[in-house]
Amino acid sequence: MWVQAEVFLQTLVAGILLGGLYALIGIGMTLILGVMKIINLTHGQLMMVAMYIAFWLFTLFGIDPYVSLLIAPPLMFAFGMLIQKALVNPVLRVESILPHNQVILTVGIGLVLQNVATILFTSDYRSTPVDYASTAFYLSDLWAGTPVEISLSLPWAVSFLLSVVITVLLWFFLAHTDTGKSIRATAQDKDAALIMGVNVGLMRVITFGLGSALVACAGCLFIPIYYLFPALGSQFTLIAFVITILGGLGSTLGAILGGLILGVFESMTATYVGMGWAPVGRFVIFVAALVFLPGGVASLLKTRKLSK
């Protein structure tokens, strides 16, 4: 009985920690979706690139992945802006029969990134063996008589907390700076924003950069607690859009909740069904969201507000 409770609680904690990081990935995607109205299917690959940056900084110069938070995201910010300017913008102007050709474009970019990574770094699994990797806190240290034992790994806890901090910083940026307000205005109504004198083109470029920087942060937070290989990119792209759907396309708060839900759900699937099944669990929740809650969590938040 206690053992089962212990397993459950431990799984829950792990899920919430994972979910916090997922939220960060989801927010970046949601931001791009909101402003550009396109699903960025190279999101996970951008994270993978950031993770390689952090990995090599660690391996070559011994720079701690958390310190890379100051290096990789700015680089990816620039890279994201470049993608937007050099590739997405030209495609927006192209007249094509196929709808979603910007989305196909992002898939193409993802394919290139992933394969270039494979060529450069092989498909070997990498990790950053930081010396605090296996440090953990135990509930019994705080409360000797606890009936259930729960452990909290130090890097997981740090990554989670940092992702919360970054999210709060982002919120502050979007709510209280001129650029942030312009981005929100563009997302809400592009034409109205144009009339208000917002430089929509610039906002798009900045947003793609910002979304890339956010997912790069997630990458730096993931690398100490995860492993890395090129195909991780497509895996995380999938995760990112499941979160976005769960959250309700384009809602930041929805993305945070979506990330948490997915994190907990995956963690439960891994514990109770089997490690290899977590991706299938991800799909199950994706389908469930499409069937039962097409508007995502955001639609729940909204109806609550409307019905007073």
Applying CB under 8 A, which residues contact another protein? 39, 41, 87, 90-91, 94-101, 103-105, 107-112, 114-116, 119, 234, 238, 241-242, 245, 249, 274, 276-277, 279-280, 283, 286-287, 290-291, 294, 306
C-beta of 297: minimal distance to another protein in Å? 16
Nearer of residues 3 and 97 to another protein, judged by Cβ: 97
Residues in a beta bridge with 126: 228
Nearer of residues 95 and 191 to another protein, judged by Cβ: 95
| Contact present, 128 and 224 (Cβ < 8 Å) | yes
Nearer of residues 36 and 257 to another protein, judged by Cβ: 36
Q: Tokens 């770094």 correspond to what residue?
A: 121
C-beta of 227: minimal distance to another protein in Å? 17
- Amino acid (one-letter) located at 22: Y
Distances in Å between the alpha carbon of 109 and those of 46, 105, 156, 204?
A: 10, 6, 30, 18
Question: Which element (helix H / strand E) includes 145?
Answer: none
| Contact present, 32 and 40 (Cβ < 8 Å) | yes
Nearer of residues 59 and 123 to another protein, judged by Cβ: 123
C-beta of 207: minimal distance to another protein in Å? 17
C-beta of 19: minimal distance to another protein in Å? 19
As a whole number of angstroms, the distance between CA 194 and CA 207 comes to 16
C-beta of 212: minimal distance to another protein in Å? 17
Q: Cα dihedral angle (110, 113, 116, 121), rounded to 10 degrees?
A: -120
C-beta of 17: minimal distance to another protein in Å? 23
C-beta of 107: minimal distance to another protein in Å? 6
Nearer of residues 60 and 195 to another protein, judged by Cβ: 195
Nearer of residues 92 and 136 to another protein, judged by Cβ: 92
Nearer of residues 218 and 245 to another protein, judged by Cβ: 245
